[in-house]
Chains A and B, each alone.
Chain A
Amino acid sequence: MSTAATADASSSGDTTEGSVRLLTLQSEDGEVFEVKETIATQSVTIKGMVDDDCATSTIPVCNVTGRTLAMVIEWWNKHEIGAVSNEKELKEWESQFDTIDDKSDRDDVYDLLMAANYLNIPTLLDCCTSAVAEAIKGKSTDEMREFFDIKSDFDEKEEDALRKENQWAFEN
């Protein structure tokens, strides 16, 4: 349990703050977040739940850790209409997500990708997929394997044949 949790997991999610309705989201590892409905509905999945009146109690966000969910909520806040008036500023802020410099960045982007996919957040999904694509670009097959820790599961013969026939792919 993290100190970032802002509400007790057992409380009902349907609370209000002024006239803005708050939704309660619970990550896979039990962290609970209260989020304004207006920003959480950037997730198509959550919007569907709200529209169907299914968002009255705590919404479990499976497969997403508290750490990742916090990043997602930050993303929502920045992308709330009117939150950042300057387009350039927003792009600058987004740029922390759209490049993968090392393996720790890489793992963050995977987690965000999973979350963006599960919650169906098109803007975040676009940003993360293009980040991964950028990281793949310009790499040889061997370099891709190294960077993404992909182990070839071809047997020795197949691997040899692949290398022989497609030498270009393994060279940069």
Chain B
Amino acid sequence: MIEDNLQITQKRKPTTENLVMVEKNDDLISRLSDDILLYIISLLPVECAVRTSFLSRRWSDLWNESPELKGTTEDIPILVQELVELYNRHPLLPCRREVRFRFEKSNLLVATIEDNQKLHLKFSDGSSTLRNPLFLRRPSSSTHDLAVKTLHLTSVSDLTPEKVTSLVSYFRNLQSLQITECNFKSLSIGAGFQILTSLTILDCLELTEIHSFSLNLKRLFFRGNFVKFWFYTLKTSLEIAMIDFRKGPGCLGITYCCLMKNLLALRNVEILTVCGWLFNMPKIKMLPLCEHYNTSVEISLCSKI
């Protein structure tokens, strides 16, 4: 039977390389096409899929082609969990790994993990933003915390604050969180993130409110429309805040009152950088510390405002 197959295979792929291999062994699986092998790999649990990369050069080359897995929205947390836990257990894996995940027809999630610490989840459907809400939940049996220290979320659409919070709560050891181009209205950072020190929010244009319960947040970088900040700790730990409302007031009507609240919320910040147009507003000019600023300005705010 095996001999039969060998003959057939020789006929099928009459390249010198294959002929040499046929003489050596009965390895037929490695001669399946890339498409089929990649599809088979995509059916495997991630850990098992990684194992195949050590089989031979043929397989390790395949694995380097950033596998594209398929599934449903519900599989995303599992995928993320498996990817992260894999790195948690096996810190010696290649330092950067990208997995492409197709779900719900054509939506794409590119999950990249780097240095065993940075996880980047980028969502897209090729052209426009996603419409499907994503249910990212904390796995019920989390025996150990994930080692990820930096999490980047890009284009997560229609996430409610609860969902972002529950996703983020999965990463207890998070030190840095970056959220880019995500279409949700409100963001809340819970008190559970003991060591989250850096929060960056870029171009989330539908965002109107940011609530922070974090005790240790030291650096805040924001770029986008005007938003309201709410800090619930008595004394903020913020050292550096760069608040760039360059996209303008957004859909919020800015009142003097909410602007004051924002500035008060940031009153203990050691270095505050804000966008100049704020200070062109008539009533702000009345504040003693505010001169006329054309561009970004670095000012130190004391508790006197």
Q: With A114-B32, A144-B52, A151-B56 in contact, is A133–B24 under 8 Å at CB? A: no
Interface hits, A126-142 → B, CB 8 Å: 129-130, 132-133, 136-141
Name the contact of B2 in the complex, choosing from A103, A137, A150 (C-beta under 8 A). A103
Most buried by A among B26, B29, B93: B29
- B25 contacts the other chain (CB 8 A): yes
Complex interface: chain A residues within 8 A of B27 (CB): 148-151
Asked if A137 and B44 make an inter-chain contact with CB atoms under 8 angstroms apart, the answer reads yes
Q: Does B257 contact A (CB under 8 A)?
A: no
Does any Cβ of A come within 8 Å of B234's Cβ?
Answer: no
Whether a CB of chain B sits under 8 angstroms from the CB of A16 is no
- Contact A168-B40, Cβ < 8 Å, known A107-B5, A144-B55, A162-B54: no
- Judged by a CB distance under 8 angstroms, whether B304 is at the interface is no
* Residues of A with C-beta under 8 A to B59: 150
Count of A-B contacts judged by CB separation below 8 Å: 95
Evaluate contact between A117 and B51: CB separation under 8 angstroms.
no
Q: Does A104 contact B (CB under 8 A)?
A: yes
Q: Cβ of A94 < 8 Å from any Cβ of B?
A: no
**Chain A residues, CB < 8 A from B12:** 63, 114
B29 and A152 within 8 A (CB) = no
- Number of residues on chain A facing chain B (CB within 8 A): 37
Cβ–Cβ contact B57 & A153, under 8 A: yes
Q: Which residues of B contact A117 (CB under 8 A)?
A: 32-33, 35-36
* Nearest-neighbor residue (CB-CB) of B32 within chain A: A113
* Interface of chain B, main secondary structure: helix
Q: A117-B33, A166-B92 are in contact. Are A129 and B40 (CB under 8 A)?
A: yes
Decide yes or no whether B131 CB sits under 8 A from chain A. no
Pick from A104, A136, A145, A149: contact of B48, CB below 8 A. A136
Q: Considering the chains assembled together, what is the distance between the CA atoms of A109 and B25 in angstroms?
A: 18
Closest A residue, CB atoms, query B58: A153
Q: Do B39 and A107 have beta carbons less than 8 Å apart?
A: no
Q: Which residues of B contact A130 (CB under 8 A)?
A: 43
A107 touches B28 (CB 8 A): yes
* Residues of B within 8 A of A (CB-CB), count: 37
B50 in the interface (beta carbon within 8 A): yes
Cβ-defined contact, B8 with A28, below 8 A = yes
CB–CB A140/B51 < 8 A = yes
Q: Chain B 55-96 against A: per-residue CB contact (8 Å), 1 yes, 0 no?
A: 111110000000000000000000000000000011011000
In the assembly, what is the distance between CA of A145 and CA of B53, in Å?
11
Determine the distance from Cα of A129 to Cα of B41 in the docked complex, in whole angstroms. 9
Q: Is A65 engaged at the interface, CB distance under 8 Å to the other chain? A: yes
Q: Does B139 contact A (CB under 8 A)?
A: no
Q: Tell me, rounded to whole Å, the shortest Cβ–Cβ distance linking A142 to chain B.
A: 9
User: Assuming the A-B contacts A149-B26, A149-B27, A151-B25, are A111 and B44 also in contact, with contact meaning beta carbons closer than 8 angstroms in the complex?
Assistant: no
**Residues in A neighbouring B4, C-beta threshold 8 A:** 65
Give A47 to B277 CA distance when docked, in angstroms. Answer: 65
Cα A111 to Cα B11 with chains together (Å):
13
Residues of A with C-beta under 8 A to B29: 110, 132, 148-150
Chain A CB within 8 A of B1 CB: yes
Report whether A165 and B40 are in contact in the complex, using a CB–CB cutoff of 8 Å: no
- Could you list 6 examples of A-B contacts with CB < 8 Å? A110-B28, A117-B33, A144-B52, A148-B30, A149-B28, A153-B57
Given known contacts A110-B28, A137-B48, what 17 new A-B pairs fall within 8 Å (CB)? Answer: A114-B12, A129-B36, A130-B43, A132-B29, A133-B43, A139-B48, A140-B51, A141-B54, A149-B27, A150-B27, A152-B56, A153-B56, A153-B57, A154-B56, A168-B90, A169-B51, A169-B54
